[in-house]
Amino acid sequence: MMEGRKAALLTLSYLGAIRSVPNYNVMGLAKASLESNVYYMAQSLGPKGIRVNAVSAGPIKTLAASGIANFGEKLDLVAQNAPLRRNVTIEEVGNAAAFLLSDLASGITGEITYVDAGSTRPQAQNNPTPWTNKKRAQGAFFIAMQPRVIYLRSHSAGF
């Protein structure tokens, strides 16, 4: 480590760390472990001035992704339902990584930053029409990505 300069570690994760994603299988377990490791390493390396973070990228068309069945359809489905109505690019993931590794992020550690056009956040689906059988099969990937949000109302608290 250079004198006066702090170090930063960064790793790449994916949504399968926190949600069940069809066909992701054991990689989901590996990513969950990786994200947990980010928290523990941030705690233990923080006193030495070392920041530890992760970027959880949305699906991107890469050579590795070409081995996933129907990946193009999954990309289309995510793009249709993401708040930004598109998928992210490799450049956008790289920009987030460069930020987290730079001194501009000197106060950030132990974080998982989602670079996914908003596709992992709870939101209403943009296509409210019922799924057809074909759409249902294609949509299984996206539905697995959507968290379940339950709003509780307390009458005694006046909400």
Q: Is 40 a catalytic residue?
A: no
The b/e string for 106-117 (b: 16+ C-beta within 10 A; e otherwise) is: eeebbbbbbbbb
CB atoms within 10 A of CB 136: 11
The count of residues in the chain is: 159
Which residues, listed in sequence order, are joined to residue 56 by a DSSP beta bridge?
13, 114
Q: Is 114 a catalytic residue?
A: no
Given the residues 24, 39, 40, 114, the one annotated as active site: 24
Given the residues 14, 39, 40, 114, the one annotated as active site: 14
Catalytic residues: 14, 24
